[in-house]
């Protein structure tokens, strides 16, 4: 018989064979012994704890109950034939029900005997029952000695179950595979790390994750495997960063010159916040080192990222370079252009806007002035990365809302100069620290965690449909004060038709409540042509209309300081970060601003948490943490395509400490041994040379 190894096809495993192998492959992608070992339980049932009958509820997972079987009887005919037994403990009685294998159960189930019953509680007609429980005659001795007190539960499927691969079945073949090849599993972490972090070995961890002798062994296994998982992600990310810094020189911005200083002294209309100053310093330091900067700038809506970006651009100009800022949409690009023009005139530095709708004639002039270096700042959409756009000496590229651009698009920016420009990417949505360490772990991160002084926090209230008149009254009041109001409707693709109906009904009501000529309304939704959309937006921006009714097409970055009320209809249907983004459209002027969340009366638990969170806090970072807890990393805004987040065991909401430890350790290792050349790091070096896990050399983050 052939020797078993980790790469042996799964059909050769004892207890598997060709048929089961087939379902294992199709259903859960288990092809080899190794794959099976890596198929961990998704939870464990604590078999040391007995639930009392009174405690049972359908919300509970699999539980075990200790009780005496009182009676058993077979009732019903044909399809509905079943065996029902009553089980009692000192707190009450439940029913145990079998629809299959009735004869066999009838034979082995003895009234009056005490059993350990194991299964999932259900509720039917107000009565608690357990269908098809596992049964064991209670034996105080054997239970104390305990076989497995923590019963692993594996994800199974209907198909797998048909082949007896339910959780018990999977457990059986796990035992076989560990027996066959556990001695082949190699350690992946250097010995000194195991020592330092008190981690158990890999083979031990795998054994314990499948067959934990007790809860401390399980904890040790989980910690070890989580550490390994997060450690190697960080190793990959930081190695990438290292390679990048070794490979690419950076332009040296060694002086703070005339433009920067003059702007700072004469043009800056307010004092910078402490956080803005700190970030500027970080960028200053970064751009003097002769290494290309790759920095993520995080800051809540309204925290003042634009001005920081502008001042960095001035720094680039002072050092003989050009700068550009790229935004994902025309409207955003236009707004950046306007706000930068508001801060520095064309006479101070030359600025141009380049988008898809820039006229050919203007485009030609822009191209020429970029090429000869007279144009210093280019603001635009992805039109500015087209091949025809050539800079004389691009020194800094700012990317706003970088998650909306693909890698190739950002790569094109890099190629706009022979020495790649420094890159500053900005996110409009704060992301939790753990997430940014994982998603953007190979970038340097700057955070603006302070709002400009004197900002009045937006007041948020939640109203139910029945309180709609209050909302209208409030709108009238604010409009009478000369303010403007947004009303936003959800637009979710799956139910686009329904959404449009809502929107249309909403528009009708609003038009009746706020009739011409006293009130004027802008309407913006996805069905409009870009030119119409733009026209409507512009009317609102210029203050010609007081109310803007819109679907979520209104852009994240749109800035209308006079708008003081944001009304979000069907707010229960929005995600937290979206709600926060929308709220960020107001509170941009000196006036007190408000956000009104309208919802139906029936709310899911999660929706309730979302709305309560919005009412409670304005802090985007706090909100992002809650969002992460509610949705998990895979569904967060802007993270959808990231493979980095396919974590097997680690959980970014719970494992912050392990993540931080792993990251710090990797940083330390690369400081000491950047090429992983030391003997003690041999395993780490090997990680990169293994074909299946080797890094692909993406330089672009």
Interface with ligand ADP by CB under 6 A: which residues? 270-273, 276, 299, 301-307, 452, 588
Shortest gap between Cβ of 298 and ligand ADP (angstroms)? 10
Q: How far apart are CA 60 and CA 64, in angstroms?
A: 11
Which of Mg ion, ligand ADP, none has residue 452 at its interface (CB below 5 to 8 Å by kind)? ligand ADP
What torsion, rounded to 10 degrees, do the Cα atoms 539, 542, 548, 554 define?
Answer: 90
Q: Which of 153, 163, 116 is nearest to 137 (CA)?
A: 116
Q: Among residues 446 and 681, whose Cβ is nearest to Mg ion?
A: 446
For 234, 409, 417, 562, the CA distances from 543, given in Å and listed in that order, are: 49, 35, 42, 8
Q: How far apart are CA 297 and CA 310, in angstroms?
A: 13
Q: Which of 416, 423, 570, 409 is nearest to 488 (CA)?
A: 570
Q: Which residue is nearest to Mg ion (CB)?
A: 557
Which of Mg ion, ligand ADP, none has residue 307 at its interface (CB below 5 to 8 Å by kind)? ligand ADP
Which of Mg ion, ligand ADP, none has residue 382 at its interface (CB below 5 to 8 Å by kind)? none
Shortest gap between Cβ of 299 and ligand ADP (angstroms)? 5
Shortest gap between Cβ of 326 and Mg ion (angstroms)? 13
List b or e across 227-261, with b for residues whose CB sees 16 or more CB atoms inside 10 angstroms. bbbbbbbbbbbbbbbebbbeeeebbebeeeeebbe
Q: Which of 250, 237, 232 is nearest to 188 (CA)?
A: 232
Q: Cβ(354)–Cβ(380) under 8 Å?
A: yes
Type and span of the H or E element at 188: none
Shortest gap between Cβ of 515 and ligand ADP (angstroms)? 33
Which of ligand ADP, Mg ion, none has residue 272 at its interface (CB below 5 to 8 Å by kind)? ligand ADP
Q: Cβ(650)–Cβ(226) under 8 Å?
A: yes
Q: Among residues 41 and 302, whose Cβ is nearest to ligand ADP?
A: 302
Q: Among residues 557 and 633, whose Cβ is nearest to Mg ion?
A: 557
Shortest gap between Cβ of 332 and Mg ion (angstroms)? 8
Which of Mg ion, ligand ADP, none has residue 644 at its interface (CB below 5 to 8 Å by kind)? none
- The CA-to-CA distance between both ends of the chain, in Å, stands at 49
Q: Among residues 344 and 662, whose Cβ is nearest to ligand ADP?
A: 344
Q: Inter-axis angle of helices 620-631 and 605-616, to 10 degrees?
A: 170
Q: Among residues 35 and 637, whose Cβ is nearest to ligand ADP?
A: 637
Shortest gap between Cβ of 462 and ligand ADP (angstroms)? 24
- Give the contacts of 521 (CB within 8 A, at least 6 positions apart): 507, 510, 511, 514, 545, 546, 547, 548, 549
Q: Among residues 306 and 319, whose Cβ is nearest to ligand ADP?
A: 306
Which of Mg ion, ligand ADP, none has residue 299 at its interface (CB below 5 to 8 Å by kind)? ligand ADP
Shortest gap between Cβ of 594 and Mg ion (angstroms)? 21
Alpha-carbon Rg of the chain, whole angstroms?
Answer: 31
Q: Among residues 264 and 474, whose Cβ is nearest to ligand ADP?
A: 264
Binding residues (CB under 5 A) for Mg ion: these are 557
Output phi, psi for 463, to 5 deg.
-120, 145
Q: Among residues 44 and 440, whose Cβ is nearest to ligand ADP?
A: 440
Chain-centroid distance of CA 130 in Å reads: 37
Chain-centroid distance of CA 351 in Å reads: 36
Q: How far apart are CA 135 and CA 118, in angstroms?
A: 6
Which of Mg ion, ligand ADP, none has residue 270 at its interface (CB below 5 to 8 Å by kind)? ligand ADP
Q: Among residues 2 and 453, whose Cβ is nearest to ligand ADP?
A: 453
Shortest gap between Cβ of 275 and ligand ADP (angstroms)? 9
Shortest gap between Cβ of 306 and Mg ion (angstroms)? 5
Q: Which residue is nearest to ligand ADP (CB)?
A: 304
Query: Per this entry, what is the length of the chain?
Result: 701
Shortest gap between Cβ of 448 and Mg ion (angstroms)? 11
Pairing of strands 484-489, 563-568: parallel
Q: Among residues 302 and 506, whose Cβ is nearest to Mg ion?
A: 302
Which of Mg ion, ligand ADP, none has residue 301 at its interface (CB below 5 to 8 Å by kind)? ligand ADP
Helix/strand/coil percentages in the chain, nearest 5: 45, 20, 35
Shortest gap between Cβ of 426 and Mg ion (angstroms)? 7
What's the number of CA atoms in the CB half-sphere (13 Å) around residue 27? 21
Shortest gap between Cβ of 404 and Mg ion (angstroms)? 13
List b or e across 125-154, with b for residues whose CB sees 16 or more CB atoms inside 10 angstroms. eeebbbbebebeebeeeebeeeeebbbbbb
Q: Among residues 177 and 301, whose Cβ is nearest to Mg ion?
A: 301
Q: Among residues 27 and 282, whose Cβ is nearest to ligand ADP?
A: 282
Q: Cβ(273)–Cβ(304) under 8 Å?
A: yes
């Amino acid at each position: 018989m052939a020797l078993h190894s980790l790469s042996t096809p799964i059909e050769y495993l004892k207890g598997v064979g060709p048929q089961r192998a087939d379902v294992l492959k199709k259903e859960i992608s288990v092809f080899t012994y190794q794959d099976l070992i890596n198929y961990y339980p998704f939870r464990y049932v604590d078999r040391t704890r007995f639930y009392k009958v009174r405690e049972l509820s359908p919300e509970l997972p699999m539980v075990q109950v200790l009780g005496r079987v009182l009676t058993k009887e077979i009732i019903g005919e044909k399809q509905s034939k079943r065996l029902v037994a009553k089980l009692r403990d000192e707190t009450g009685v439940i029913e145990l029900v079998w629809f299959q294998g009735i004869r066999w159960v009838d034979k082995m189930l003895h009234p009056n005997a005490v059993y350990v019953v194991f299964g999932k509680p259900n509720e039917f007609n107000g009565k608690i029952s357990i269908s098809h429980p596992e049964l064991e005659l209670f034996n105080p001795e054997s239970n104390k000695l305990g076989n497995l007190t923590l019963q692993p539960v594996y994800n199974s499927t209907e198909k797998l179950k048909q082949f007896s691969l339910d959780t018990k079945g999977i457990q059986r073949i796990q035992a076989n595979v560990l027996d066959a090849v556990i001695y082949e599993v190699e350690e992946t972490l250097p010995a000194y790390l195991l020592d330092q972090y008190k981690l158990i070995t890999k083979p031990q961890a795998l054994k314990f994750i499948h067959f934990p002798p007790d809860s401390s062994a399980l904890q040790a296994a989980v910690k070890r495997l989580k550490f390994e998982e997060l450690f190697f992600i960080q190793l990959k990310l930081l190695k990438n960063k290292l390679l990048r810094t070794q490979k690419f020189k950076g332009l040296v911005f060694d002086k703070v010159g005339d433009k920067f200083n003059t702007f700072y002294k004469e043009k800056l209309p307010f004092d910078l916040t402490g956080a803005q100053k700190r970030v500027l310093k970080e960028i200053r330091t970064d751009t003097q080192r002769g290494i290309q900067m790759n920095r993520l700038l995080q800051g809540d809506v309204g925290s003042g990222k634009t001005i920081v970006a502008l001042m960095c651009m001035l720094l680039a100009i002072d050092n003989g370079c050009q700068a550009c800022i790229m935004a994902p949409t025309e409207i955003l690009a236009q707004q950046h252009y306007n706000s930068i023009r508001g801060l520095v005139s064309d006479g101070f530095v030359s600025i141009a806007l380049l988008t898809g709708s820039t006229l050919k004639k203007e485009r030609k002039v822009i191209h020429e002035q970029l090429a000869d270096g007279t144009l210093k700042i280019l603001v635009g959409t992805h039109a500015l990365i087209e091949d025809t756009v050539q800079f004389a000496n691009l020194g800094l590229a700012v990317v706003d809302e970088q998650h909306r651009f693909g890698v190739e698009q950002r790569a094109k920016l890099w190629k706009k100069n022979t020495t790649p420009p420094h890159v500053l990417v900005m996110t409009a949505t704060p992301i939790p620290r753990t997430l940014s360490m994982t998603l953007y772990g190979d970038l340097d991160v700057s955070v603006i965690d302070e709002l400009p002084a004197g900002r009045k926090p937006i007041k948020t209230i939640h109203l139910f449909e029945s309180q709609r008149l209050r909302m209208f009254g409030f709108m009238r009041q604010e409009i009478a004060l000369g303010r403007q109001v947004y009303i936003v409707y959800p637009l979710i693709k799956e139910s686009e038709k329904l959404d449009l109906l809502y929107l249309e009904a909403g528009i009708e009501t609003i038009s009746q409540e706020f009739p011409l000529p006293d009130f004027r309304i802008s309407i913006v939704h996805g069905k409009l042509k870009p030119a119409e959309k733009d026209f409507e937006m512009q009317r609102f921006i210029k203050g010609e209309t007081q109310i803007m009714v819109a679907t979520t097409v209104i852009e994240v970055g749109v800035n209308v300081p006079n708008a003081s009320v944001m009304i979000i209809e069907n707010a229960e249907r929005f995600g937290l970060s979206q709600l926060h983004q929308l709220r960020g459209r107001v509170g941009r002027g000196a006036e007190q601003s408000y956000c009104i969340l309208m919802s139906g009366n029936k709310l899911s638990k999660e929706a309730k948490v979302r709305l309560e969170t919005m009412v409670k806090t304005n802090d985007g970072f706090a909100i992002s943490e809650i969002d992460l807890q509610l949705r998990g990393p895979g569904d967060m805004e802007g993270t959808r395509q990231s493979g980095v987040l396919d974590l097997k065991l680690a959980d970014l909401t719970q494992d912050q400490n392990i993540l931080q430890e792993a990251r710090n350790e990797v940083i330390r290792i690369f400081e000491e041994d950047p090429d992983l050349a030391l003997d003690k790091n041999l395993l780490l070096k090997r990680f990169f040379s293994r074909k299946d896990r080797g890094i692909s050399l993406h330089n672009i983050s």
